[in-house]
Amino acid sequence: MTQGMSAPILEVTNLTKRYGGLVAVKNLSFSIAPGEILGLIGPNGSGKSTAMKSIMGVERPSAGSIKLDGVELAGLPSHQIARKGVGLVFQHSRPLARQTVLENIKVALLPDKLTHLFADKDTDGKARAIAARVGLAGVLDRKPATLAFADLRRLELAKAVARHPKLVLVDEPFAGLTASEVADFSQLIREFRVEGRAVLLVDHNVKSVSALVDRVLAMYLGEWIAEGAAADVMRDETVRRVYLGGALVSTARAESLFSDRTPVLQVENVGVCYGKARALQDVSLHVHEGEFVSLVGLNGAGKTTLFNAISGLMAYSGEIKWAGRPLRPGSPAQIARSGIVQCPETRELFGEMSVRENLDLGGNALGGEECARQLNWLFDLFPILKARQSQMARTLSGGEQQMLAIARALMMKPKLLILDEPTLGLAPVILETLSRALDRLRETTKITLLLGEQNVTFALPHADRVYVLDHARIVWEGPPDRFEAEAAANYL
């Protein structure tokens, strides 16, 4: 809490949100004072967005209290919460597409009354002043579709400013922004602090959040794990274990052991944009045949985007070569048949089909005897799947579903297996099972592996080389035994 601020404007007590048997947020409590910025951080799936949506009324809390200036908000619809002084800066811009920037801001300035549908004579001046404040003075007459991505984010901020909120909820403000744009946007958010407004900020860019906020609250699996000054929270052992996973070890094979002169996979200066948001910028990496390479990075860094580009699932600039040949213009199916198989973060199992049926789909291109041999090999790798053959995939535990997703990918007998965040949300005992399986693949097969992970402790023991992806760029490359000395301190 900032100096001189004592009475909180927002008080969240024992906030809980359940989705059936899943507890997304559990007994979360915190407060924010006027003129204070609180950063909410945590790995993907930790409950950050659910907590924010519960405060805004987008999700109805299952239990707990949310008070603004002593007034209970829990359970109210979002439009009533907005009237009481809560503003939300959306991650995804939602402007009125047919109106200009100036008109969008003027709409936000209109009183929330059916009897007052037209702007006052001074509304135009107020809108222009707000636009100037957020850096939109030069694009007032343009339509949203013509704006740069950063200007769309500024427009969302301008609309929030127009409502004069007591509390501003800012969702992923730095996603898709360049370093200079992050600095500009951070300064705009700091102005809320100067005006005495409270700010709750959620973003995957831990470094930018830490540089901006007064306090940080870290969550994991829906629960509070640490709170305090950013530097103290990032040194907290529980927080470091959540992000890094624990002690860093390495059993890497030297790159010189791989005899191929031309790497089997070459990614050269690849860039990807989602609309106007840049997700990858000039990314280059290579993987030798039989090599295990880990791509580590926090959530939102761009790992999944890169994997989807390699798999032919999205357009990209630059070049991606497989066995010396460009992958474009091959379709995802053609790329998979060429030997590149991705096991996605979301698993994408057929929930109403049995374990065996999911595996049979993976091996549909194999002959009968070959399919049977591959299936028996996988049952030896993941014995629990043999016992669960007739069970519907949706009834499996999270760890069992992850094993099934990996096994289905291996049924295709890939030359390059891409694993995207295989440890996400899994218990330690399941991580040990996956780790042993990767060790066996590494020791007994010629498969090539590209592993995308936030959990560095899981990623490093299975890596011959490591790349660090940060904010859409590769920022470090090297053997895993150099990671702790050269890159670990800047990872968080």
Prediction pTM value = 0.65
Cα 67 to Cα 73: distance, rounded to the nearest angstrom: 6
- Residue intervals in the chain for CATH 3.40.50.300: 10-244, 255-491
Domain 10-244 of CATH type 3.40.50.300: yes
How far, in Å, are 350, 394, 427 from residue 19 at the CA level?
A: 21, 16, 20
Least confident of 45-54, 212-221, 248-257: 248-257
Sign of CA dihedral 431, 432, 433, 434: positive
pLDDT digits (tens, 9 = 90+) for 294-323: 999 887 788 999 999 999 999 999 999 999
> In the structure encoding, which two tokens stand for residue 333, read together?
């199916």
pLDDT of res. 116: 52
At residue 432, the pLDDT reads: 82
Q: What would the pLDDT profile of 174-229 be if each residue is shown by its tens digit?
A: 776 777 788 888 888 898 888 898 999 987 777 788 889 999 999 888 899 999 99
Q: Phi-psi region for residue 196, left (φ > 0), alpha (ψ -120 to 50) or beta?
A: left
pLDDT of residue 280: 93
| Whether 293 contacts 274, CB under 8 Å | no
Please provide the size of the chain in residues. Answer: 492
How many CB atoms sit inside 10 A of residue 286's CB? 18
Helical (H) or strand (E) element with 282: strand 277-287
Question: Exposed e or buried b for every residue in 185-195, given b needs 16+ CB within 10 A?
Answer: bbebbeebbee
pLDDT at 300: 77
Amino acid at 166: K
CATH of 255-491, picked from 2.40.50.140, 3.30.390.30, 3.40.50.300, 3.10.20.30, is 3.40.50.300
Q: b vs e for 224-249, b when ≥16 Cβ sit within 10 Å of the residue's Cβ?
A: bbbbeebeebbebeebbebbbbeebe
Summary mean pLDDT of the chain:
86
| pLDDT at position 427 | 63
Q: What pLDDT shows up at residue 3?
A: 45
Which is it for the CA torsion 229, 234, 235, 238, positive or negative?
positive
pLDDT of 336-391, one tens digit each? 999 999 999 888 899 899 999 999 999 888 888 889 999 999 999 999 999 999 99
**In terms of pLDDT, which residue wins out, 64 or 48?**
64
Using pLDDT thresholds of 50, 70 and 90, give the confidence band for residue 325: very high
When pLDDT is cut at 50, 70 and 90, the band that residue 428 belongs to is low
Percent of the chain past pLDDT 90, that is, above it, reads: 42
100-121 burial, b at 16+ Cβ within 10 Å, e below that, comes to bbbbbbbbbbeeeeeeeeebee
Q: Is the pLDDT of residue 154 over 70?
A: yes
Per-residue confidence (pLDDT) for residue 340, from 0 to 100: 96
Strand partners, 89: 170
